[in-house]
Structure 1
């Protein structure tokens, strides 16, 4: 069996759509009667809780309350649907070129896994996206209560693929310290810069485009030791 390949999602397979996220949160603020700039700032400052703890409507209620709002159930539901629609839209934006890469990897016999630091709107939209049918395993931080670079989330993905971490390749842009986290538990790591040059300090192999990956995995390659690790995070 060819080596399993585990991908990051945002800024690796799809663009992170950070500006659109802020716009949508501002629109949600109007729906629930709080200050748009305040709600956008609250979303940014609570990213970790939203990744591993709160669902969409819980987030809206908690943050609205912190901003002095008391939205009705109807307002919360409406704002939640607006956020869920964003999740569907972002996943549906995946390019045909990326889907072709995934199909090529599957054609070469590589099982495919996903580890995403993602909020519940993404996890709920995933089963209906064009990406889902191409993956054998998808692990979302909001579902498992773990987020990269926690070693446990890499071990969990590998376990679900039926292998050990050292048998897997990890591909990501490098946000949230994910590359160092993957390397620390034994995965072979490739950094991608196709959507964003998130971690230029990383010293391992890099891909300018995912289209290069199938051919690279068909050839023997030497894994380089990383020279640094980036700890910034993506907006979710």
Structure 2
């Protein structure tokens, strides 16, 4: 049976754009009258709340008030649109090799799923990304209220695929302890280093480039078929 493949998003399929994120948040700070460095640090410190609890506007309002400002509804909306524009830009910039690899996997019969620790602006921008049409199942932490490495988010994806976790492959760069989480949930786990070497201490198998994955899986299934035929002959 051809196994479903479940991917991480940032630093796996697309660049995380960390520097651009900080720049945009600093620009948002000016819009809501708080110190840019303070808002950037507040965004970093509250990543999990932003991933599983707060909308874009809630994040801006909560953090601004914590930093001593009381922005108007119009200021919050303006900053929110600035953040959403970033999500659209990042999700539109997908390496051609990534799209080719996903298309090859689908042509080989693999169902594809995505699990991402992501804020609501990512989920809103997703349908316009060239990635969206290539995935059968998408699970964003902001939608399900749980984030990697919690096993529940992986099992949500496998349930939606209608697949046994043991028959699924997870591919990610390793941020947020996602590789250990996928392994604990029962998935076969591959670290990828093409866009970011996030978890160099990972002791499991590592993939240098997403373009290598279709061939790797074809080779794996060819060996499995040969082994099955050999076993059948020996009976």
TM-score tier, shorter chain, comes to: over 0.9
Structure 1 CA distance, aligned partners of 2:191 and 2:115?
15
**Over residues 27-83 of structure 1, what are the superposed CA-to-partner deviations in whole Å (9 max), with x where a residue is unaligned?**
000011111111001000000100000000000000000011111111100000000
Larger of the two Rg values belongs to structure: 2
Q: Is residue 157 of structure 1 aligned with residue 153 of structure 2?
A: no
Shift of 1:164: 1.4
RMSD: 1.1
Residue 185 of structure 1 corresponds to which residue in structure 2? 185
Residue 167 of structure 2 corresponds to which residue in structure 1? 167
Q: Is residue 120 of structure 1 aligned with residue 125 of structure 2?
A: no
**Runs of 4 or more above 4 Å deviation:** none
Greater helix share, structure number: 2
Structure 2 CA distance, aligned partners of 1:190 and 1:47?
25
The alignment partner of 1:219 has SS state of helix
Residue 63 of structure 2 corresponds to which residue in structure 1? 63
The alignment partner of 2:191 has SS state of strand
Structure 1 CA distance, aligned partners of 2:102 and 2:37?
38
Shift of 1:85: 0.4
The alignment partner of 1:171 has SS state of strand
In the alignment, structure 1 segments of 5+ residues that lack a partner are 223-236
My pick for the range that moved more, 177-186 or 103-112, is 177-186
In the alignment, structure 2 segments of 5+ residues that lack a partner are 224-235
Q: TM-score, normalised by structure 1?
A: 0.92
**Over residues 82-103 of structure 1, what are the superposed CA-to-partner deviations in whole Å (9 max), with x where a residue is unaligned?**
0000001011111111000000
Structure 1 CA distance, aligned partners of 2:85 and 2:23?
13
Aligned residues: 222
Structure 1 CA distance, aligned partners of 2:35 and 2:120?
23
Shift of 1:220: 2.3
Structure 2 CA distance, aligned partners of 1:220 and 1:17?
33
Q: Is residue 198 of structure 1 aligned with residue 198 of structure 2?
A: yes
Aligned positions of 1:129-140 closer than 5 A = 129-140=129-140
